[in-house]
Amino acid sequence: MNFERLEIRDLILCSPKILNDDRGYFVETFVERKLNDFLGFNVNFCQDNESKSSYGVLRGLHYQLAPYAQSKLVRVIKGSVLDVAIDLRKNSSTFGQHISVELSENNKKQLFIPRGFAHGFIVLSEEAILAYKVDNYYRASHERGISFDDKDLSIDWRLPTKSITVSTKDKKNSSFQDSDFFDFNNKLYA
């Protein structure tokens, strides 16, 4: 597994070694000690989630407030998505900035998103199955969302707005300016 820090330093792109032969392929999708060694701290994932979505479905931008904030390790099992993470840490030099990464069944790349970020994705293929690990359990009372088309964020979702499908719940997400943010005092974890 190769780990690469992105423009927002705490976002990590994980690229596995893919072993191909005439039978198919083999890939290690998660090795706890390797990720923890690279990060310099331990992430204790407690739950795996999976979603299936059709072309143009946009899920997000979601996050949970402390003490139920979540780190995520996101990958695509089938299809292709544009995965987006936004820095919501008020004291960060990259506060309000985002990263977009294409994750697919072909490239098998994964995105590690630490606590303090909002996350969302849009399906670029006919359908996509996305799987991700989280290090904290879902807590509805601490769940928040930011509007995917917020002008302050200027995210290029690669699809025309008329092709984007958003849930009724996500249509009610707040603007970036009206969102709740994190204050980690330069720490990844509260």
Structure tokens at 124: 């670029």
Q: Is 55 an annotated catalytic residue? A: no
Q: What is the pTM of this model?
A: 0.94
| Burial class of residue 115, CB neighbours in 10 A (0-12, 13-18, 19+) | buried
pLDDT in tens, 107-142: 999 999 999 999 999 999 999 999 999 999 999 999
Structural domain contains residue 13: no
User: Strands, DSSP E only, in 91-153?
Assistant: 98-104, 110-113, 117-123, 127-134, 143-145
pLDDT of residue 49: 98
Three-state DSSP class for 45?
Answer: coil
Structure tokens at 21: 């032969």
Domain that holds residue 67: 43-171
Three-state DSSP class for 52?
Answer: strand
From the list 63, 98, 119, 132, the catalytic residue is: 132
Q: Is 132 an annotated catalytic residue? A: yes
From the list 55, 62, 68, 189, the catalytic residue is: 62
As for how many domains the chain has, the answer is 1
Structural domain contains residue 130: yes
- Residue 94, domain CATH: 2.60.120.10
